């Protein structure tokens, strides 16, 4: 947990009654959004975006099927009405109505009697995890298939004949996505990204979408220093399309946070940006360190989510990912067991608080210039130094206010690095002070006209 909830986090989310309100809201969103059959295009995505807009407004956009986006092309829409495998007695032994993972996403239509032998190459199971239905897709190659538990598979009659029906269709439509641009005072813009294409999978990525909309609502209430671009798209094709449609704007992005797998019961983790030591990495590390919260560190890997596109040679946007049960790292990942039992509203609320704490520290990123750079300025004549001194640390118990030494030290650290180029995160690392404490010192020094902000901020 964030140590000093009051300051690092949302006021409302550490207040017990507000927490309760949030938990109810998150659970309600989980329940409504989980069953929708999302894919990279189609009605499931539209229904999802509409539900999220009910929480907080953002702009919905779309791109037509067939539009070229760099090396890719927007696919046709895929909508599905029903899909099942029925045995000879007509019993639907596998049914898309039961779980939308049962159909390989983007499967072509079929309606045939097939022997088990002919059917088998189209069946996907997990022999090592016999109770779980795997999640499979086939977006860019026309085929069809069913996913089922290995236990279901074992019960099928090797000599039997099955009716196999998928009532789906492809048609020229569009790819839907959402975005919102929150304006700040600085010339820096950060990207807050999530993806909305996965069907009934809870941690990946129902959790990311819910975090995204709550974060958007929260930041909208604030007077922001930086600009924040919120983007929600289907994974891969969505971010590629977004890059191609917003090339100039995206070249200016200073850094990104990818929201995915944030509500599991496990440990917090952080996947580094491709640079490993970017501002985003420093801030995330610093934020968790200040609060004494452990963090599993995952080095950058090209295999992952949309950072692989955002960080590509042409854009090179450094993108970090804070996770709670990171994708790939838990057994339930991309199976029917990544369901509502795997996640919790409490975990998501924690993730919300951490992301807000990180953004708070990102907001504190600015460089300053001391207006008295020739020596330490005289704090005493400005009422910032105790009247009687000699050993401030020792005096704590001797009548002087308790943390005066610490407060004076924070002022002096900020003044010492008031060279117009040292970012606050670096002062935090060198001094051992939290960015929040340093930012308080900054405010005091600005008020007393001892410091001025430099750089792109207006």
- Binding to a second copy (CB under 8 A): which residues in 303-342? 303, 308-309, 311-315, 328, 333-334
Among residues 157 and 419, whose Cβ is nearest to a second copy?
419
- Judged by CB under 8 A, the chain residues 377 through 416 that form the site for a second copy are 377-378, 380-381, 385, 387-391, 393-394, 397-399, 405, 408-409, 412-413, 415-416
Nearest approach in angstroms of CB 221 to a second copy is: 33
* Pairing relationship of beta strands 319-324 and 253-259 according to DSSP bridges: parallel
Contact range with a second copy by CB under 8 A, out of 70-78, 86-94, 212-220, 354-362: 70-78
- Judged by CB under 8 A, the chain residues 205 through 264 that form the site for a second copy are 236, 239-240, 243-244, 247
d(CA 22, CA 5): 16
**Helix 279-290 × helix 435-447 angle, to 10°:** 100
Among residues 293 and 431, whose Cβ is nearest to a second copy?
431
Nearest approach in angstroms of CB 419 to a second copy is: 5
d(CA 290, CA 216): 25
Among residues 138 and 282, whose Cβ is nearest to a second copy?
138
Binding pattern to a second copy, positions 84-113, x when CB under 8 A?
--------------------x---------
Nearest approach in angstroms of CB 313 to a second copy is: 4
Among residues 29 and 37, whose Cβ is nearest to a second copy?
37
Structure tokens at 388: 């009687």
d(CA 175, CA 241): 9
Residue found by looking up tokens 């951490």 in the block: 354
Interaction of residue 140 with a second copy, rule CB under 8 A: yes
**Helix 43-53 × helix 207-220 angle, to 10°:** 30
**Main-chain phi, psi angles of 80, to 5 degrees:** -130, 135
d(CA 131, CA 336): 9
Among residues 358 and 410, whose Cβ is nearest to a second copy?
410
Among residues 107 and 194, whose Cβ is nearest to a second copy?
107
Nearest approach in angstroms of CB 169 to a second copy is: 20
Interaction of residue 166 with a second copy, rule CB under 8 A: no
Nearest approach in angstroms of CB 141 to a second copy is: 4
Among residues 381 and 458, whose Cβ is nearest to a second copy?
381
Q: 174: part of which helix (H) or strand (E)?
A: strand 174-182
The residue ranges of DSSP E strands in 96-158, in sequence order, are 110-115, 123-124, 146-147
Taking Cα atoms as reference points, which of 5, 95, 96, 79 lies closest to residue 290? 5
- Which alpha helices (DSSP H) does 70-119 contain, by range? 116-119
Structure tokens at 221: 């209430």
Contact range with a second copy by CB under 8 A, out of 15-23, 44-52, 130-138, 169-177: 130-138
Nearest approach in angstroms of CB 350 to a second copy is: 26
Q: Are 426 and 419 in contact (CB under 8 A)?
A: no
Nearest approach in angstroms of CB 308 to a second copy is: 6
d(CA 455, CA 449): 17
Environment class of 313 (CB within 10 Å of its CB; exposed 0-12, middle 13-18, buried 19+): exposed
Among residues 312 and 340, whose Cβ is nearest to a second copy?
312
Among residues 2 and 240, whose Cβ is nearest to a second copy?
240
Interaction of residue 34 with a second copy, rule CB under 8 A: no
Spell 420-429 as b/e; 16+ CB within 10 A means b: eeebbbebbe
Q: Are 175 and 42 in contact (CB under 8 A)?
A: no
Nearest approach in angstroms of CB 136 to a second copy is: 4
Among residues 90 and 398, whose Cβ is nearest to a second copy?
398
């Amino acid at each position: 947990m964030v140590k000093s909830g009051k300051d690092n986090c949302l006021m409302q989310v550490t207040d017990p009654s507000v927490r309760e309100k949030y938990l109810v809201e998150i659970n309600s969103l989980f329940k409504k959004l989980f069953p929708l059959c999302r894919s990279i295009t189609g009605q499931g995505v539209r229904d999802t975006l509409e539900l999220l807009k009910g929480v907080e407004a953002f702009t919905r956009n779309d791109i037509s099927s067939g539009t070229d986006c760099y090396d890719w092309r927007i696919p046709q829409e895929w909508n599905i009405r029903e899909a099942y495998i029925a045995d000879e007695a007509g019993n639907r032994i596998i049914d898309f109505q039961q779980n939308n993972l049962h159909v390989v996403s983007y499967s072509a239509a079929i309606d045939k009697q097939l022997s088990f032998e002919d059917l088998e190459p189209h069946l996907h199971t997990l022999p090592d995890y016999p109770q779980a239905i795997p999640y499979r897709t086939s977006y860019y190659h026309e085929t069809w298939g069913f996913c089922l538990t290995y236990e279901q598979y074992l019960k099928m009659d090797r000599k039997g004949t099955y009716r196999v029906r998928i009532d789906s269709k492809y048609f020229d439509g569009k790819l839907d996505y959402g975005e919102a641009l929150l304006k700040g005072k600085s010339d820096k813009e950060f990207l807050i990204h999530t993806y909305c294409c996965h069907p009934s999978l809870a941690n990946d990525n129902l959790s990311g979408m819910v975090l995204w909309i709550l974060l958007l609502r929260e930041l909208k209430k604030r007077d922001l220093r930086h600009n924040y671009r919120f983007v929600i798209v289907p994974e891969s094709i969505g971010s590629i399309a977004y890059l191609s449609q917003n090339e100039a704007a995206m070249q200016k992005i200073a850094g990104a946070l990818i929201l995915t797998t944030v509500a599991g019961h496990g440990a917090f983790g952080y996947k580094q940006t491709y640079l490993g030591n970017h501002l985003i990495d420093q801030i995330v590390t610093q934020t968790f360190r200040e609060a004494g919260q452990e963090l599993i560190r995952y080095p950058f890997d090209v295999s992952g989510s949309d950072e692989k596109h955002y960080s590509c040679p042409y854009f090179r946007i450094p993108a970090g990912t804070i996770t709670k049960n990171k994708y790939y790292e838990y057994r339930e990942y991309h199976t029917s067991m990544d369901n509502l039992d795997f996640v919790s509203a409490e975990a998501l609320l924690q993730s919300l608080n951490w992301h807000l704490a990180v953004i708070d520290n990102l907001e504190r990123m600015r460089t300053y210039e001391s207006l008295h750079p020739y020596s330490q300025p005289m704090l005493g004549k400005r009422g910032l130094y105790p009247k009687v001194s000699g050993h401030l640390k020792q005096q704590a118990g001797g009548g002087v206010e308790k943390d005066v030494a610490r407060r004076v030290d924070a002022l002096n650290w900020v003044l010492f690095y008031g060279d117009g180029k040292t970012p606050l995160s670096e002062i935090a690392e060198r001094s051992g002070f939290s960015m929040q404490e340093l930012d308080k010192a900054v405010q005091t020094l600005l008020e007393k006209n001892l410091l001025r902000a430099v750089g792109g901020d207006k």
